[in-house]
Structure 1
């Protein structure tokens, strides 16, 4: 998808601050330092629009970014960072739970995991929570440039098995440095928004395994 406009709208702390224009919303979740801000900036072609902090756990709100006047990417607080105060974590939990369960504009979740490591307990808990609530999930394995392409399949297999990835949930390898996976992720987003979950299952979305196979093709 060609991004012609992208803008930060609001840092919301509750439903009264959420946009009321009815646009589709896609939530981005993941551990602190997994690369959510970098992914957002790459997807929106805007350097620095989503601020990249050197202090993990800094994001404490739902940050709304409007793209092409057609959808919102909603950046969630990073989870799994031990130095965040317990009271703040409790506030995050209530805010996130309320949003995921009640926000009618939410279409699906993009969950980011680091391709270099097996999913953490927090990653697994978040994925299972989304499945229990019934929210479709796209898993994005970030930092694909940090390991050799020949090891992608091995690492994505570990992620699939650890999360017990459901058959209708897609996994895409992504790199904010090289742009790997950017087009695939936009394609998945548009397919899900246009055709719904059923059409998304049938669409020929390049999977992580297909990306590996493509990488092995002679140039």
Structure 2
């Protein structure tokens, strides 16, 4: 079963770009089905109220729970003091299985990590190239698993991506995903040096083509067992779905 661990969905309430406007899944789902992607992890686009945005995502997940998983998006600054409550609602009421944070909103903090620890959830945190935070996350929260997507930098910062590979190798609880990684040789190097068990398949849908993102993993020409880890096994293990 192929699982896309990184897909946005539902309403945004800004108009600065697709990332904070409505994320329509219609084209994505058609393309994902053709590619053979069976399930997708959904989280909100950027939003001024993540409680509302998470509830909108929850409705999408509830409409087809065999197709979707949900992650709770939280703002580490604006939601300060209520993150545990937001995550609790997402888990207990909506069945979400992880937390999403983005440095565009604010740097990850102890409150987010404490909520992840309390609910035993992985955190998908986009550091926007500030991958040195992996050292602190691994040191201070060794019992929480962190996925730093895009090999650490969607903006193609190869130096940050190289640095993240070292963190993947050294820290048991630091992972990455394949979404939007344009430097194929760095993706290959991440799998070779850190191991297939540290890399998850993601597409950054609905904006990137899921078939194209999946083809990058196929081109790695891995063993069947290693490819299966990246394409779903690692996600199932990290979220306790095995």
Structure-1-length-normalised TM-score: 0.42
Structure-2-length-normalised TM-score: 0.39
